[in-house]
Structure 1
């Protein structure tokens, strides 16, 4: 009888042991990090991007944007699933192959309305590229073509602008047929039509970096004659050696902060993106014309508006207009406001510098002046955080399902942190929004 009881106890202990091992294996499996979508080129140079309609891109063009073959196949399949056409940015964002970071990088360039309801209402100003057949009659050097020339050839206004922007990114020349083909707005079909007519070397020269957009000589171009800074547009400042981003800041600074014109040399020198060395280089060639000052001022409506005191503006309440007033372009200002909205508010100034599509040097200058009040930003415990908030917050959404699962049986923040086993740097970001 005792022997029988002994064997029964051993059998029970064995079953308990197997159960514990199975549970441990399950929890280890559930603790594994969710797979992350990776990209060939997560940090695609923003200078090379232009506005585009995702409905017009073929497999090769998606790969030029930094997606792998597998991700590209997923995007094209998803487009068929949703009816053969993306209707909005929100719909495109739901595609599994497009990560949050990648979408943030591309968002401002996508020519689609924000939501499906806007698309269906017919009020959207986002129109697809017009489909035209190319009209090519003779051989040509693409470096010599203007916006109008590309449009006459059959490209839409947006496509023509994108091609010229890509040429500017390369340093002002397409260099070779290889480089021309890499322009993401030109699909394989159109390239095959254009290639026989292109007057360009087939291969990229080995010394390409000597005169590409990265070239020091291009960035420090010295004027060949005198110029009036009040009549220069973005292209004019770029011709003097500034990048497109710097040129936009200079024009915004002149038109918004100085009401349309530089009045003195000191006004030019005070522009944030013009270094002391660059100003010294340009100074002998600058001619301030009083006539163009009057013309520039006459174009501005006389609106009495007080200048913003940025030392008193909270970064969690600063407006789009105020960011433009400081000198940011619309893309930078929109990205910052959008990221702040997704987070529910900034907790630290370092977060602001993580925003995509911003001029970090200019924003750093703003942050050195403006305060940040995070007292009104919503924070929750892991136990009490609403499910919708967890799933939509940029810092929590990849761990949201785990948090929701574990807190059912372990309603304790300390235990949940142990169970989700996220990376230390991710946990540090999440804890900013935890009580």
Structure 2
């Protein structure tokens, strides 16, 4: 008991110290409770320095957002896929309308026609149309199956080159049976002519003769070419395309192995040594799905 009592026995000086300590604690608590320490000073966030600083921050944020946005390269709108359309901001309905139109073997030849087919709104069209890249050879084609033109004071009936027979072609001065057969054979390799100027690719058929042929025959109805899925096609299938040789086929398959899956057919333009001038023709036979 004496042990505990010794801890609670204080002399007068100690008791005075304890009393003053309690007094200080109570005083500080009272001040904290009754005195308002909140500042009445209002910070003006509209000052020029703060506005300039905020503008710099917003500018840096916008730069970062622009960097994160996928960069859009010029492209042919005829080959927009589901994934590409989603990236551009098109709705599913708009993409489906485009794909339905293309499934009929038809081609879009102008910005106005693109909007007419897809029904995209003006604001979206204004954003994406500057990136549309139509081939140089794109021209408006008549919907009729035959066209009458005047040449050397006489009417000529222009027929569909994809329906022409050997005897039909021989009406052109300078086209004999062998040249006519060569045109038909090349048409078969292409699975049908898609562009008038593909006639210039026929072996040993000079420009003057092609010019004569095109006075009588043109592409009136596009062929229905079944495209190969580039992510599933075999080496032999890709090599069979007229515009792709063995070396280019190897490069395409090496690129496909590197990226695991090609998301958009436009990607093959990135392949080193790819013949950009042939892309529109190659794209007739390949699709990325």
**TM-score normalised over the length of structure 2:** 0.38
Q: Give the number of the structure whose alpha-carbon radius of gyration is greater.
A: 2
If asked which structure has higher relative contact order (CA below 8 Å, sep 6+), I would say: 2
